[in-house]
Chains A and B, each alone.
Chain A
Amino acid sequence: MRFGVRRTGRLVLSVWVLVTAAFLMIHVLPGDPVRASLGPTAPLSLIEQRRAAMGLDDPLWLQYVHYLGHLVTGDLGVSMTSGLPVDEVISSRLGSTVEMALLAFAVAVLISVPLGTIMAVLARSNKNRDWALTSAGVVVATIPEFLMAVGLVFVFSVQLGWTPVAGRSGPSSYILPVLALAIGPAFMLARIIRVELLSVLQADYIRTARAKRLRPAAVYLRHALPNALTATLTVGGLLLGALVAGTVLIENIFAWPGLGGTIVQSILAKDYPTVQGVVLVYGAGVLLINLVVDVALAVLDPRSAIRES
């Protein structure tokens, strides 16, 4: 119970910091955002009009109050370039980003759990192969997603012609973006699972499990792996967060109709209301992931909740 209270307190504080940072973002910019967005040749009257419409001439605290008020009703303002409400722009594009991130995370987990387990088993039996696999893992895990994407496009689209280069059309168009996002984190997770598994295998309760003469597979899968995965969960949450950030690059490479394209275009076009809205959505996504991970940890391993308080 104490855990719930503390965690909620932290969440509220985090949300406040996020919301305030997104508000201040536009106000600490050097220069006038309206002028910057309309360009140096814009007539003064238009600029004045826009400023008034956005309430930029009000005192800062009043703008903050208005901003919070609008936020509560889901009103994120109007795009300075397209004139569409920002919340509409976001809701039309959010789905494909979330879809890609979740798919990639699922693939990363599906690859990393067996891979990490195999690496741990090898570490205890075959030193040479363990070394080779671990080194390969280090190399693959360092390759950032956008370079992975370029490499995958080169091999599978250009050389082999198996998959489309860009866009979201059929199932085959998902393969490369999802793989590009998933491979790095998969190897990273596999390394962590390997380390955690090896340390769990030293634990006294594993000796107990062996003393019960369980099959080796049962010792690994029933007793060691779940405990190793609990320990991996924290890092898994961080990786999922990083994966969300990775979608920005991947969407731009594959011309994916998601928020990643929107944020880059709106930054380049100085469309600040849109930038602000998208930043809020990404931030909220990360906070949500952290929350889910913490709750999952507390459920899976009650000791972690006790440890925290």
Chain B
Amino acid sequence: MAYLKRPLGISAAVLLVLVLGLALVAPLLWQERADAVHPNEILLGPSSAHPVGTDLLGRDILARVLVATRLSVGLALLATAIGVGVGLLLGTAPTLLGRRVGRWITAVINIAVAFPTLLLALFFAVIFGVGAKGAVLAIGFATAPAFARLTQTLAATISGRDFIAAARVAGVGRMRILLRHVLPNIAEPLVVSATMAAGSALLAFASLSFLGLGVQAPGYDWGRLLGEGLAQIYIHPAGALAAGVAVIVAAMAFNLTGEAVARGLVMINPDKPRSALVGKAEPLPGGGLLHVENLRVSYGDVTPVRGVSLTVGAGEAVGIVGESGSGKSLTALAIAQLIESPGRVDADRIEFLGEDLRHGDHRKLLGTSLAMVFQDPMTSLNPTHKVGRQLAEVAREHQGATRRAAWRRAVDRLAAVRIPDAERRARQLPHEFSGGMRQRAMIGMGVMASPRLIIADEPTTALDVTVQRRVLELLADVRAAEGAALLFISHDVTVVGQVCDRVLVMYAGRVVEDLPTASLAGGALHPYTQALVSAVPSMTTDRDRPLAVIPGRPPDPHALPAGCAYAPRCPLATERCLDEDPTLTVHDDGRRVACWHAEAHLEGAAS
């Protein structure tokens, strides 16, 4: 019952206990008072003797409302029990009776659930007759289809499980499987729904009684009291209101308790992240299109990007490689100003085309000069807008183009990214495009204006190998044609090597090495870069030798080691590495490395 510990759960449960308690004791305490007729105290307003006043026969309304709790709640529970019982029978019937009969039952249930409960209740009220008994049956049968459907859905998810299949193979009978394996596993959600259904049954019962089809005089439940009160609402509104409040409170007690439990069932306890270390990086020399210094991205206490500094020169192609979780994609998003709350971006400098992106609104600049290409082309286009319209939107928004001019430009750009029959394709929805074509459309969207920088975040990862190469070629062509720079994010060091001039290697939220692509093979200084490179099969790799995989896992961002983050996996790690975090040091040739033992390596290589 842990899920009831939250404030909402507690108050709902307390309310429910109160309502149920009242249903038990109210008639014992106040029955006489509720039935006592006082011909000279008719329709009195609230007074100390009658807190809510009296009705047409001079009876105390408060007492009547309280006493009616038993009948109202009792009948509702009875109706719910019938509904759950019939629903369980109908819902499990397909499992028990086999395919053929089951199909028919399912079809009828599906049709029945399409009808509102109240209409079904009216229908059954005709069959079962007017009165309390008829209404109980009517509401019970009216709630049954929804329950049958729920049982079926839940049972279907359970039936697919291994243990059911095992039981079936073992020759266990259908009935036994149902009782021993299926029902116990779906009991919890069923009980929750039954609790909420009791709330709805209470309301439905009040409706029927209110219409005169439920409880008949001289009996009375809340629905009848409400109906009687409404007739007197001008002279004496308290009568109707008291019964109305009672119905709402009781119904809410059931609904909210059910909801609180239901929420408890799906609640996952997020354990609180611990603090992480935030390092400081060396500043960079100036010059170039994009300057980022000491960029940090944090979510609460976790800081997945910890002080990244980088520059991209005009027309340059820079790659960022790293494993998933290294912070490479967040770095890209942060530069593009696309991190959303609760994410937080800090930096000493983010400068693009001379504008400080950290402050102010740069919609126009970013909209025309920065293009983004995302990883999954299947989900990155709006499924309900025509592809052409999605491209044209850029020109409409930032270049003030007319609808027609924007559309023409969109078709032109689609043709430029080699989409055949661009005119017709522009009028299609994204799901009519293949994956590779959608990614080309995304690139086309990026070149609607004239971008100075294209940020491509794993643009080929979600695509087929054959399509990948063509998209990469297209990206290279577009870059050449536009003279744009490229920031290319990938986990694949080979791809980066093909596309980029320079590579930044990221590990645990930091840049650990920044080197020219040409130096990747054989010239990498950081042990992690070396491991990445040697994990890739090449023409010269001895096919008989197993591929080198990097042993171990990337560190948990909640608990980063005190020293070098790579130390637990690093073959060269020493005492110093465990204690002290290496800073990113700039070497003479402009290369940057963060490793205590890179120097030695460098000297060794130089001599």
- A residues engaging B (CB < 8 A)? 13-14, 17-18, 21, 25, 28-30, 124-125, 139, 142-144, 146-147, 150-151, 153-154, 158, 165, 203-205, 207-215, 218, 222-223, 226-227, 230, 241-242, 244-246, 248-249, 252-253, 263-264, 267-268, 272, 275, 279, 282-283, 286-287, 290, 300-303
Contact = CB atoms under 8 A, between A and B. Distances in A.
A154 B397 contact: no
Contacts of A143: 248
Contacts of B393: 212, 214, 222
B130 interface: yes
A274 to B, nearest CB: 11
Given A28-B127, A242-B116, A264-B213, 15 more contacts: A13-B111, A144-B251, A151-B244, A154-B241, A213-B397, A214-B393, A214-B397, A242-B118, A245-B119, A246-B118, A253-B230, A267-B126, A279-B122, A283-B115, A286-B116
B436 interface: no
Interface string B353-390: 00000000001101100001010100111111100001
B116 A249 contact: no
The interface centre, meaning the residue of A139, A150, A222, A272 with most chain B CB atoms within 10 A of its CB, is A150
Contacts of B229: 150
A13 B103 CA distance: 13
B118 A245 contact: yes
Given A13-B111, A142-B248, A252-B211, A208 B442 contact: yes
Contacts, number: 169
The interface centre, meaning the residue of B129, B341, B398 with most chain A CB atoms within 10 A of its CB, is B129
The interface centre, meaning the residue of B226, B382, B383, B385 with most chain A CB atoms within 10 A of its CB, is B382
A241 B112 CA distance: 12
Interface stretch (B232-240, B475-483, B547-555, B586-594): B232-240
Interface string B122-142: 110111011000000000000
A267 B130 contact: yes
Contact of A241 (B115, B213, B394, B442): B115
B96 interface: no
Contact of B397 (A165, A218, A230, A241): A218
A208 B230 contact: no
A290 B261 CA distance: 31
Given A29-B127, A267-B213, A209 B336 contact: no
B499 interface: no
B210 interface: yes
The interface centre, meaning the residue of B116, B251, B379 with most chain A CB atoms within 10 A of its CB, is B116
A193 B72 CA distance: 34
Contacts of A21: 123
Contacts of A30: 129
B119 A286 contact: yes
8 contacts: A28-B127, A139-B252, A203-B379, A211-B338, A222-B393, A263-B122, A264-B212, A300-B384
Contact of B117 (A203, A245, A249, A264): A245
Interface in B226-264: 226, 229-230, 233-234, 237, 240-241, 244, 247-248, 251-252, 255
A253 B379 CA distance: 50
A216 to B, nearest CB: 10
Given A252-B211, A283-B115, A208 B363 contact: no
A248 B118 contact: yes
A207 B394 CA distance: 14
Given A204-B374, A212-B367, A248-B211, A283 B119 contact: yes
A204 B458 CA distance: 14
Contact of A142 (B107, B211, B251, B381): B251
A282 B122 CA distance: 11
A214 B389 CA distance: 14
Contact of B394 (A212, A253, A263, A267): A212
Q: Which 10 pairs between the two chains have the least Cβ-Cβ distance?
A: A213-B367, A245-B116, A245-B118, A211-B372, A204-B379, A205-B382, A213-B363, A204-B380, A242-B116, A245-B119
Contacts of A213: 363-364, 366-367, 397-398
